[in-house]
Amino acid sequence: MVVVKIAFILSVGLVGILAHNHQSKELDAKYNWWQHEVFYQIYPRSFQDSNGDGIGDLQGITSRLQYFKDTGITSVWLSPIYDFGYDISNYTNIQPEYGTLEDFDALIAKANELVVKVILDFVPNHSSNKHPWFIKSGTTDDPNNEAYLSHIYTRNQPEDYGLLQHWRQLLYNYTANHEGPPRIMMTKGYASVSKLMEHYEDSNGVQGPQFPFNFDFITELNANSTAADFVFYISRWLIYMPHGHVANWVMGNHDNPRVASRFGEKSVDAMNMLLMTLPGIGITYNGEELGMTDYRDISWTDTVDQPACEAGIDNYKTISRDPERTLIQWNSDLNAGFSSANRTWLPVNPNYKELNLRNQQQARRSHYKIYQSLLKLRQLPFLKNGSFDPEVVNRRVFAFKRELKNEHTLLTIVNVSNRTELVDIADFIDQPNRLSVLVAGVDSQHRVGDRLKAEAIELAPNEGLVIQLNKRNLLNSGSIMAGLVKSDTEDFIDWWQHTVFYQIYPRSFMDSNGDGIGDLKGITSKLRYLADTGITATWLSPIFQSPMVDFGYDISDYKAIQPEYGTMADFEELIDTAFELGIKVVLDFVPNHSSDQHEWFKKSASREPGYEDFYVWHDGIVQKNGTRVPPNNWPSVFYGSAWKWHEGREQYYLHQFTKEQPDLNFRNPKVVQAMDDVLLFWLNKGVAGFRIDAVNHLFEDESLKDEPLSGKTGDSLSYDYTEHIYSRDLPEVLEMIHHWRQLLDDFSAKHPERPTRIMMTEAYAGLTQLADYYEDSNGVRGSHLPFNFHFITDVTGDSDARDYVYNVEKWLIYMPRGHAANWVMGNHDNPRVASRFGPASVDAMNMLLLTLPGVAVTYNGEELGMVDYRELSWEDTVDPPARNVGEELYQEVSRDPVRTPFQWSNETNAGFSTATKTWLPVHPNYLELNLEAQKVANRSHYHVYKDLLELRKSAIMRVGRFNIEPLTRWVFAFKRSYPNFESIITVINVSDKEQLVDLSEFLSHPKKLVVEVSGVDSKYQPGQSLAASALLLAAREGLVCRLV
């Protein structure tokens, strides 16, 4: 936590200002006055000079208080007015340049008269070195003395929260003993979201400040941000904010460039529309209502900002805060009406002749008048208390609705790009022809009162609109509308958009010939199991010919079957049997690298014509002492250098994985053609598509630059040693994905009698990059399903409900419209669900996976709740990364525990094999945990999983809209709803303790719940009726219910 300043931001004065008629309403308003307020930040030095010394002062502010009343502002926050400002030498006196305590008292009296509340900036972290406290405390030049250092590693302690809670209690006590509304505290701290939420309320429910400042619009968003970026950061705050608290949005302040300078001058109105129509509190920096801009041409001579002065004449412009602190531009008179002085403390922006308040007050349309109209609009009930529902319309446009029962609905829509956008929001609302403009920008072609058609709204560059929808013309769609289609019929959904892909790790699934290794005939023999369970698509980990150094991911022949697994005839039998059972088969495709035993590599190593550049070769670097070293510092994913010297060719070759897996050179068109031939070969064999392994590693920087160090480790052989900016995630990867998508689309078009052939891509990459895999900025489609690993990488057994909601929402936000979400709960490279989240979580995690919208991916054995076998000995360990790090560390990195044989029964080797020894030992718990036992049990993980698959067949699960919320810190729920269908509710407790929750508010009004699916140890039975207002969930329990 960073508590730099507490915007004490303490409300002062205000005695008896709300004592009028209608006492109950006014009492409520009195005690909740701040929850929907706009706080207007005044930087006193730049606001209004009353005495001609060129510096703003308290009397100047007092003289302008009527301006706030006329504008509609009822709360102002003053930056420090104490002696010396942010370096305070006397906390109970006024800086003489600003006036006296009598001037302050006069300001408060006038503010009370105008019903304007005043908040002060409080700076408790530090004082001035001129403060008597500091002088009395002493200092030292002794490097051995504690006072010598700035203690950047000894701040942000838990005690900080205690201090904030202490001050909250102080304000509470003051309010209780004095007339007037509650005194409040706002905190300023640039910290992580999770830390800031502790300001609101700690894990024990002890409350701190009324709200911590939310700087995401300043720190995370800029003119290059996408619509998804805006929705993401808005949603993130709302997800993590504890229940019962109020959101806030800081659009600008005195320490950062102004809105018009950050987002562009054309964005001023849209950003104010956003600020004013979001739920909660808005904070405006003085001048933003006019669209004032930074004055970036302030000279070195005129610069006064201390950090800028310390940076020197060559660097001051890059860090100076003076440009955003220039004088408020009241009119076109001398010094913009700020002061009569010959010289002001900072120069006025020269654009004041045109850009000033008086001009905007007199203009027919202006930023000021739009701001004023937005303040009036905020008084309407749906903006005070209405629900909030955002939508990413496309990459450049987002919208959100504010809705309140029995009231009109408000829609804000914003184009964040510098190009005109024509958008269709008809699927975001129910009656698309009943829209009318409430607020439009200065340069908008639209006028207040204009009727719009939802199917075709034209937005100019950076334009925003606030639109009214007539009463009750919305679907109850929730926070993200993630329905795949707009109909409840099967016709609109392709097979892959709502299927469950069941990953089979062939080596561990079923052994048919007693050699201890799973094989194709074994898989074929168990396809009936998949069909009986309800599985309609399976993905096979690599089955191609391989030396098995990395168990199939090192391929020596892409068009042949690994002999241990069987023959091509076995594969064809598998495909035929799967087809008869209605199961589609997807193959794992590994294009980044081959085996060093592949014929291509052997030919390339011998420089055979046509194969010289099939792989990435380099001479290396000869050092001054004659030693030859690799061409750069790239480490292998599996530890060690990513380069291996080849004695025959006398060059290094690149291997981003094991040294037996040389990287293919996809800059060579012959390599691309060879891989195309591989894909077509298997497509003609009848596969339904491919899961493309390690796709983001396909291309490397051509100049093979050294990568920057990450600072995470000093071990140069560790993959964490560098930031991988030159060896993965290059733009050419996306081009290759597009190329393969076209190949698959062409094949599907030529074979319309067969199902659509699809591509799934594996890449542990950034969210925006994965969104581009779906579809790039030009609308070119790529991967049908870029794998979503967030349930593996971003949540753990310690995660709370907000973490789950956040990770669901962020995928849906960034996923381009018209695509299918996907959720990967586990795979062969990561610990199993029961081991990551605990055995008690198995059913809840499967409920989550299988009731979310879109595609689910299950790793074999997760339907049983299989667990990792962590006690595998060093002698039994075969995983290459584990073998690479040695006996002392192998257990930390080995993937073998996740890959143990499937537990079919309590027979020898869990029914997997009749061999004396299997390729990996079977987990000893197979005697109790196995499929056969779970099939005959009254309640089991398998039965829960099967019931969930049956539920997925219903129309509501295929096309239902989606709404998810954290109900408490430890319980979240989501709803699948569609008109004329009973909604499905999934509710999950992710804590180790029993939780009592009330779903009434989440469900809009209390309804009865009927249990559809409950867990193995649940006290609830399918068909049982439950009260939504008091649902008791056991530790780690999940429930799927129908809303009736």
Distance in angstroms (rounded) separating the CA atoms of residues 21 and 12: 24
DSSP states along 360-382: HHHSSS-HHHHHHHHHHHTTSHH
* Same domain membership, residue 931 and residue 963: no
SS3 annotation, 818-849: CCCCEEECCCCCCCCHHHHHCHHHHHHHHHHH
* pLDDT reading at 18 higher than 50: no
Q: Which of 862, 855, 919, 560 is nearest to 691 (CA)?
A: 855
Of 553-557, 760-764, 978-982, the least confident: 978-982
For residues 985 and 1008, the answer to whether their CB atoms sit within 8 Å is no
Q: How confident is the model over 567-592, as a mean pLDDT? A: 99
Structure tokens at 906: 């309590």
* pLDDT reading at 31 higher than 60: no
pLDDT of residue 9: 45
Distances in Å between the alpha carbon of 555 and those of 60, 661, 709?
Answer: 78, 8, 32
Q: How confident is the model over 294-300, as a mean pLDDT? A: 97
Torsion of CA 956, 962, 963, 964, to 10 degrees: 100
* pLDDT reading at 363 higher than 50: yes
Burial class (CB in 10 A: 0-12, 13-18, 19+), 23: exposed
- Residue 583 in any domain: the answer is yes
* pLDDT reading at 350 higher than 60: yes
pLDDT of residue 180: 82
* Same domain membership, residue 792 and residue 933: yes
Q: How confident is the model over 670-696, as a mean pLDDT? A: 99
* pLDDT reading at 50 higher than 50: yes
Mapped onto helix, strand or coil, the DSSP state of residue 476 is coil
* Same domain membership, residue 459 and residue 390: yes
Q: What angle is formed at CA 256 by the lines to CA 383 and CA 377, rounded to 5 degrees?
A: 15
Q: How confident is the model over 955-959, as a mean pLDDT? A: 93
Amino acid at 563: P
Q: What angle is formed at CA 90 by the lines to CA 86 and CA 94, rounded to 5 degrees?
A: 80
* Same domain membership, residue 626 and residue 522: no
- Residue 507 in any domain: the answer is yes
pLDDT in tens, 796-834: 999 999 999 999 999 999 999 999 999 999 999 999 999
- Residue 144 in any domain: the answer is no
Mapped onto helix, strand or coil, the DSSP state of residue 66 is helix
State the pLDDT confidence band at 433, using cuts at 50, 70 and 90.
Answer: low
- Residue 29 in any domain: the answer is no
Mapped onto helix, strand or coil, the DSSP state of residue 701 is coil
Q: 453, 469, 485 — which closes off a domain?
A: 469
pLDDT of residue 25: 36
Distance in angstroms (rounded) separating the CA atoms of residues 662 and 590: 12
Distance in angstroms (rounded) separating the CA atoms of residues 249 and 256: 15
Mapped onto helix, strand or coil, the DSSP state of residue 645 is strand
Q: How confident is the model over 855-864, as a mean pLDDT? A: 99
* Same domain membership, residue 944 and residue 880: yes
pLDDT in tens, 608-637: 999 999 999 999 999 999 999 999 999 999
Q: 953, 977, 996 — which closes off a domain?
A: 953
Q: What angle is formed at CA 56 by the lines to CA 111 and CA 313, rounded to 5 degrees?
A: 145
Q: How confident is the model over 747-757, as a mean pLDDT? A: 96
Q: How confident is the model over 943-950, as a mean pLDDT? A: 99
pLDDT in tens, 976-989: 998 888 999 999 99
Q: How confident is the model over 396-415, as a mean pLDDT? A: 93
pLDDT in tens, 486-540: 333 344 689 999 999 999 999 999 999 999 999 999 999 999 999 999 999 999 9
Q: Indicate which CATH number applies to the domain containing 415.
A: 2.60.40.1180
* Same domain membership, residue 849 and residue 875: yes
Q: Indicate which CATH number applies to the domain containing 703.
A: 3.90.400.10
For residues 209 and 201, the answer to whether their CB atoms sit within 8 Å is no
pLDDT of residue 432: 55
Q: What angle is formed at CA 326 by the lines to CA 322 and CA 331, rounded to 5 degrees?
A: 170
Contacts of 762 (CB under 8 A, 6+ apart): 691, 692, 693, 694, 695, 787
* Same domain membership, residue 505 and residue 553: yes
Q: How confident is the model over 78-105, as a mean pLDDT? A: 82
Q: Which domain holds residue 1030?
A: 954-1043
Q: 953, 978, 1000 — which closes off a domain?
A: 953
Average pLDDT, the chain: 91
For residues 545 and 563, the answer to whether their CB atoms sit within 8 Å is yes
Amino acid at 722: T
Residues known to be catalytic = 693, 762
Q: What angle is formed at CA 1036 by the lines to CA 1033 and CA 1040, rounded to 5 degrees?
A: 60
- Residue 173 in any domain: the answer is no
Distances in Å between the alpha carbon of 630 and those of 635, 644, 661, 694, 697?
Answer: 11, 8, 17, 23, 19
Structure tokens at 750: 């030529």
Distance in angstroms (rounded) separating the CA atoms of residues 533 and 945: 8
For residues 480 and 464, the answer to whether their CB atoms sit within 8 Å is no
pLDDT of residue 687: 99
- Residue 996 in any domain: the answer is yes
pLDDT of residue 987: 99
* Same domain membership, residue 833 and residue 736: yes
Instruction: Find tokens 């009028």 and name the residue.
Output: 20
Structure tokens at 831: 């610990």
pLDDT of residue 12: 36
Distances in Å between the alpha carbon of 748 and those of 272, 687, 758, 773, 907?
Answer: 48, 12, 9, 20, 44
Distance in angstroms (rounded) separating the CA atoms of residues 320 and 303: 8
Q: Which of 166, 162, 259, 188 is nearest to 217 (CA)?
A: 259
Q: Indicate which CATH number applies to the domain containing 567.
A: 3.20.20.80
* Same domain membership, residue 561 and residue 605: no
pLDDT of residue 91: 73
* Same domain membership, residue 587 and residue 599: no
- Residue 854 in any domain: the answer is yes
* pLDDT reading at 333 higher than 70: yes
Q: What angle is formed at CA 777 by the lines to CA 776 and CA 779, rounded to 5 degrees?
A: 65
* Same domain membership, residue 687 and residue 661: no
pLDDT of residue 21: 30
Structure tokens at 357: 């308040």
Instruction: Find tokens 């809840």 and name the residue.
Output: 844
Mapped onto helix, strand or coil, the DSSP state of residue 508 is helix
pLDDT in tens, 654-678: 999 999 999 999 999 999 999 999 9
Element (H, E) at 743: helix 731-750
For residues 134 and 127, the answer to whether their CB atoms sit within 8 Å is yes
The dihedral through the CA atoms of 882, 883, 888, 891 has a sign that is positive
Range of 364-373, 431-440, 478-487, 953-962 with top mean pLDDT = 364-373
* pLDDT reading at 22 higher than 70: no
- Residue 680 in any domain: the answer is yes
Q: How confident is the model over 1013-1042, as a mean pLDDT? A: 98
Q: How confident is the model over 670-688, as a mean pLDDT? A: 99
* pLDDT reading at 149 higher than 60: no
Distance in angstroms (rounded) separating the CA atoms of residues 682 and 686: 7
* Same domain membership, residue 942 and residue 834: yes
Domain count, the chain: 4
pLDDT of residue 289: 99
Q: How confident is the model over 61-79, as a mean pLDDT? A: 97
Using only the alpha carbons of the chain, give its radius of gyration. Answer: 32
Of 381-390, 685-694, 703-712, 935-944, the least confident: 381-390
